[in-house]
Every structure is written in C-alpha cells, then in structure tokens.
Amino acid sequence: MSDQDAIRRAVAASLRKQLGGSRPVIDETVVNAAPEGSTLPIPADALVTPLAQTAALMRRVKLVPEAYEKGGSPEGGVIAIGADHGGYSLKKMLKADLQTRYTVIDCGTNGTESVDYPDFALAVAEQVASGRAWRGIMIDGAGIGSCMVANKVPGVRAALCYDYATAINSREHNNANYLTLGAGLIGTALAKQIVDTWLKTDFGGGRHAKRVDKITAVEKKYGK
C-alpha cells in the first residue's frame, strides 16, 4: 500500500469515526471501481468526499441517490407537466412550485383558449415513456380522459388521483409514473398535497411488484 493510499484510508476512517460509523463514506476508490460512464447509486445518508466528486467528473460516473434508482423522489429530477385549457391555471401554479425542486418540461397548453386534451396528455406520456422525464403530470377538467390517453402509451402507468389516499395507493401498489388531476374537481391546496404526496411516495414492491409485472405483460400482449 502506498503512502497516498494509506492517507486516504486514514481520512475515510476518521470521517467514519466522527460520524459515529452511522454514515457510509463514498471516496474516490469507490468511484474508480465503477465502470467509466456508468451510474453509481449513492445511499441517501452517504458522505461523498471531494476527491470522489472529482473522480466522478473525470470518469463520467453519474452519482445518483438510491431513492432515484428505486423510484423515489430525486431533487432535481425531471417532471413533464401538461394541461388543456381547463387545467391551465392549475398547471401554472403547480409548475411554479415544482420548479423549486425539480427540472420541469412544460408540454403546454399555454393559455385558456380551447384545445383538445389528448394532444397534451400524449405529449406528457411520450416524455415519460422515452425516459426523458422521471414522472408525468397532466391536468384537464376531470382527469379521466387524459388518464385514458396516457395508458395507451407503452411504459406509462397513469393514475387519476383525487385525494391523499389515492395518491399514496397509486404509488405504493401500482408504481404509477403518470398522474392525472381534474381541475374542476379539486382545489389548488388539495392538488398541491396530492402532487407532493405522489412524488414522495415510493413503490412498495413485494407482492405489488408481481401484480405490476402482470400489468406490463398485458401491455406487451396487446401492444404489438
């Protein structure tokens, strides 16, 4: 072992001691062990050293919080949002709030002039299906039609949510990646609560994973 390696190990050990051994330390050794250009999941409570960050930049290794890998709520994650004329005002409010924490792709519409909701529901769904967006949100008058449109797109699991319970259930049980809201059915405060809850709720996995796999199997059977 070189003197430099010994120093690095001593620093890492000191950090662990200071943190009471409760937090993992990600140093450049961990990053260098990952394939160049790969993604390295990082525990939410991990301490990433400056040398690790430098190594990641040089080797194009993307340091991604484990919550993001598991479908959780990544700060800065990409969300696609859209609305028809009936949902435009609510979309405008939600977009402003989401932009403080996430990267937002606005798929329109951009005013209250009458438009057709399928056009915008599809635009959001395509962002999700392609992987360009982590989650999608679409608002129309009732949320029903947009949900139908989105669920025609392979890779999208859309859920119409109208309260706290449905927001949690659609994520925990169904691993929904697309949320539809009915602007004519809920107020702004409730809409914000639904969105925040839906984005922060993890998929439960376990017995639910088998059932979601069966949804995917149906999609593959009839999506040819």
Strand segments (E) across the chain: 25-26, 39-42, 47-48, 62-65, 78-83, 103-106, 135-140, 158-160, 178-182
CA 125 to mean position of chain CA atoms = 14
CB burial of 135-165 (b: ≥16 within 10 Å; e: otherwise) equals bbbbbbbbbebbbebbbebeebbbbbbbeee
What is the C-alpha separation between 143 and 184, in angstroms, rounded? 9
Is residue 85 part of the annotated active site? The answer reads no
Rg (CA), the chain: 21
Q: Are 153 and 129 in contact (CB under 8 A)?
A: yes
Residue the block writes with tokens 């070189």: 2
CA 27 to mean position of chain CA atoms = 26
Residue 15, C-beta contacts closer than 8 angstroms, at least 6 positions apart: 25, 47, 49
Catalytic residue among 8, 101, 173, 192: 173
Residues serving a catalytic function are 173
